[in-house]
């Protein structure tokens, strides 16, 4: 994916996460979006790992509430 694609994906993930109530994921996606704009690769690498953890936690909370399989 190109840098422009990555930026669009980060922005979409930020917005969708916020709308879904996945606040931690939205915050991390916002940091990734900002890092992409400022070309800060080290921040992106660290935050993508955090993003995986935040997504797993959000998904688990949905499963616990019967909202996901």
pLDDT in tens, 3-46: 899 999 999 999 999 999 999 999 999 999 999 999 888 878 88
Cβ contact 33:11 at 8 Å: yes
Long-range contacts of residues 35-44, Cβ cutoff 8 Å, at least 24 apart? 36/3, 36/6, 36/7, 36/10, 37/7
Read off the pTM. Answer: 0.85
Q: Report in angstroms the alpha-carbon separations of 57 from 13, 14, 27, 43, 62.
A: 16, 16, 14, 21, 9
pLDDT for the residue numbered 15: 98
């Amino acid at each position: 994916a190109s840098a422009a694609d990555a930026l669009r994906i980060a922005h979409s993930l930020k917005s969708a996460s916020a709308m879904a109530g996945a606040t931690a994921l939205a915050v991390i996606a916002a940091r990734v979006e900002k890092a992409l704009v400022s070309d800060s690769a080290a921040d992106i690498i660290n935050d993508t790992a955090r993003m995986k953890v935040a997504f797993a936690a959000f998904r688990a909370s949905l499963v616990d509430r019967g909202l996901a399989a």
